[in-house]
Amino acid sequence: MNLANKLKELRKAKHVSQEKLAEYLGVSYQAVSKWENGITSPDILLLPDIARYFGITVDELLQVEQIEADKYFEECSLKAEKLFRDGKRAEIIPLWLEAYRKMPNDIRVKEMLMSIYFDTDKINYQNEIIELGTDIYNSAATDKDGSYYRGQAVLEVAQTYFANGNKQKANDWAQKAFRINHCQEMLFMLIHDEKDWLTETFCFVNHWYLDMLFHMAARLNLCCGDDSVYEVNKAVVGMFEAAYPNDDMGYESLNQLCVLHRCIAEDEVSLGNDETVVRKHLARAVACAVKSIGVKEHVLTHPLLCGWKIADAPSDNLQIVRTLKEELDWRCFDEYKQKDWFIELTKKLESVL
């Protein structure tokens, strides 16, 4: 919140008109209007008088504490990001615990701490996740940012209850979420006309839609595992490849695409056992794994995701390659392991490792 918004907030909270404040300060009401619209700023000599009028300090008026809090949060975020990329995830929890100790009422810090607990171990940290999530849900404002934090709390608390076997509580929390047809971003797309905002939101929705589509397909694979899921996997792969031409995507998205291709190959073995299909999808899985090593930070230009920022691959950029190498040793692929093409794919992964 900048000074313009702070002035407007204080004046409305006190039920004072621009004219009344202007009269007290000895300026025109047009001057106050310009301050509140961010066109100009008050003379520095007027700041003590403005603060005194509203019964606050100059630091509170200028939001010095908030600026310092924002700076500290940004520093913690950058440190956490670096630790994550370097594979030092165990060090991220103490980082956000210290931030939580210093800023116990900052909803951003609470959400970060809840999320790192969630990503690390939903079983052993279930009490911490549920406590923080409940606090966030109950304290978050109803504005756009507040809706995000409440949404994160619902998402992670519901899954934590489910992971710990409490399906009723998981269901209760899931019902707190908005249905997809009431999705805030999608509805805003229908009532806004500002080009940059529309483009940014369009990319945001598409990125997270594809991410959730992958996880929903993974649940189908886990819980159903029939030929209909096989067709779902192929359809989701098609959507990924349409949205990310030439496999130009982030590290996690390449991992998701690699998993989908491997799943299709595995299902083909049991459903149709067409060697051409198995070979095609394992080759694509290997291509995704190898490409993940060299992901560099850049901005996408694809129509569906234009402007979406891709981060560098983590320091341990061989995670996907190692995992796929282990998966190619599974028994389901035994009949192909002596084939020249399978040996070639295996060697390609080994050469990278």
Report the chain's terminal Cα–Cα distance, integer Å. Answer: 49
> What is the arithmetic mean of pLDDT over 163-188?
91
Coil vs helix vs strand at 194? coil
pLDDT for 290-339, tens place per residue?
Answer: 999 999 999 999 999 999 999 999 888 999 999 999 999 999 999 999 99
Which CATH number is associated with domain 73-177?
1.25.40.10
**pLDDT value at 109 more than 70:** yes
The C-alpha atoms of residue 247 and residue 326 are separated, in whole angstroms, by 23
**pLDDT value at 222 more than 90:** no
> What is the arithmetic mean of pLDDT over 162-183?
92
In contact, 130 and 159? CB cutoff 8 Å: no
Within 10 angstroms of residue 81's Cβ, the number of other Cβ atoms is 13
pTM above the 0.75 mark? no
Greatest pairwise CA separation for the chain in angstroms: 89
> What is the arithmetic mean of pLDDT over 45-60?
84
CA atoms within 13 A on the CB side of 22: 13
Residue 124 pLDDT level (bands cut at 50, 70, 90): very high
In contact, 85 and 317? CB cutoff 8 Å: no
> What is the arithmetic mean of pLDDT over 47-59?
84
**pLDDT value at 13 more than 90:** no
In contact, 43 and 18? CB cutoff 8 Å: no
Average model confidence (pLDDT) across the chain? 90
Which two tokens mark 46? 């007027």
Least confident range of 64-68, 214-218, 258-262, 299-303: 64-68
Q: What is the DSSP letter of 229?
A: H
Query: What pLDDT does 334 receive?
Result: 94
**pLDDT value at 142 more than 80:** no
% of the chain residues with pLDDT over 90 = 60
| Backbone phi, psi, residue 299, to 5° | -110, 130
**Where are the domains positioned within the chain?**
3-62, 73-177, 188-352
Query: What pLDDT does 225 receive?
Result: 65
The C-alpha atoms of residue 290 and residue 320 are separated, in whole angstroms, by 8
> What is the arithmetic mean of pLDDT over 200-213?
92
Q: Checking phi first, is residue 148 left (phi over 0); if not, alpha (psi -120 to 50) or beta?
A: alpha
Residue 148 pLDDT level (bands cut at 50, 70, 90): confident
* Secondary structure (DSSP) of 275-311: HHHHHHHHHHHHHHHHHHTT---EE---TTTTTPEEP
Query: What pLDDT does 339 receive?
Result: 95
In contact, 310 and 320? CB cutoff 8 Å: no
Query: What pLDDT does 304 receive?
Result: 94
Residue 143 pLDDT level (bands cut at 50, 70, 90): low
In contact, 80 and 112? CB cutoff 8 Å: yes
Question: Comparing 243 with 85, which gets the higher pLDDT?
Answer: 243
Query: What pLDDT does 237 receive?
Result: 95
Q: Checking phi first, is residue 121 left (phi over 0); if not, alpha (psi -120 to 50) or beta?
A: beta
Of 223, 212, 134, nearest in space to 173 by CA: 134
Q: What is the DSSP letter of 123?
A: T
**Consecutive H or E run containing 352:** helix 340-352
- Which architecture does CATH list for 3-62? Orthogonal Bundle (1.10)
The C-alpha atoms of residue 289 and residue 165 are separated, in whole angstroms, by 34
pLDDT for 248-287, tens place per residue?
Answer: 999 999 999 999 999 999 999 988 889 999 999 999 999 9
**pLDDT value at 167 more than 90:** yes
Query: What pLDDT does 349 receive?
Result: 96
Least confident range of 9-13, 17-21, 168-172, 301-305: 9-13
| Backbone phi, psi, residue 15, to 5° | 55, 50
> What is the arithmetic mean of pLDDT over 14-37?
89
Which two tokens mark 236? 């989701």
Which two tokens mark 129? 């996740």
Question: Comparing 229 with 133, which gets the higher pLDDT?
Answer: 133
